[in-house]
Amino acid sequence: MEPGVFESTAWLPLLLKLGGGGVLLFWIVGAYNRLVRLRGAIGTAWSQIDELLQRRSALLESLADAVREPLADEGVTLAALIQADQRQRTAAQVVRSRPSHAPALVAWVLAEAELASPLARLQALIEQRSELAMSEPVLPLQRQLIELGPRLVYARQLFSDAAEAYNGALEEIPTRAVGRLFGMRSASRL
């Protein structure tokens, strides 16, 4: 009696190769999707920072308007504050489009540092004039700015944690090969 198709073992190596190739393909797709999900978490974390930055910019604009007349002799400080805030907003907008891009994040961090000096100067000027510091439009704006500070620090930490998780996944073997295959680069932390 001749062996039937199912009795022959000639097809077994082919079946094993196809099965192994299928498993490898599913693993590559899974690893890629994991990296994409982790990279997306970086964008989500930046969105939280961006929302707080926009809120802070609106507060700074309102504060500058509220103190413009009483601090008319400090126009240079107010102008420096508005210009530094505008540079920070421009840098943040660039990061919004590519939140894991290191040069964009560096530019934003530098713009943030540049904003700190005129903001501190303005707050010092307001504190020197107690009647201005306690006035109705200024006091609530300053309180809101103060309350926004820790929230911004927390959002930056979430961003750094998301970048660290993504970078860690990129360094894991064998996921590292998938990241390189698709040109994925590590993300910067704040």
pTM: 0.83
103 pLDDT band (50/70/90 cuts)?
Answer: very high
pLDDT, tens digit (0-9, with 9 covering 90-100), for 117-171: 999 999 999 999 888 888 889 999 999 999 999 999 999 999 999 999 999 999 9
In the chain the domains, ranked by start, together with CATH numbers, are 46-165 (1.20.1440.20)
What is residue 28's predicted lDDT score, i.e. its pLDDT? Answer: 87
Q: Averaged over 41-58, what is the pLDDT? A: 96
Q: How confident is the model at residue 6 (pLDDT cuts 50, 70, 90)?
A: low
What pLDDT shows up at residue 41? 96
Q: What is the 3-state secondary structure (H, E, C) of the chain?
A: CCCCCCCCCCCHHHHHHHHHHHHHHHHHHHHHHHHHHHHHHHHHHHHHHHHHHHHHHHHHHHHHHHHCCCCHHHHHHHHHHHHHHHHHHHHHHHHHHCCCCHHHHHHHHHHHHHHHHHHHHHHHHHHHCHHHHCCCCHHHHHHHHHHHHHHHHHHHHHHHHHHHHHHHHHHCCCHHHHHHHCCCCCCCCC
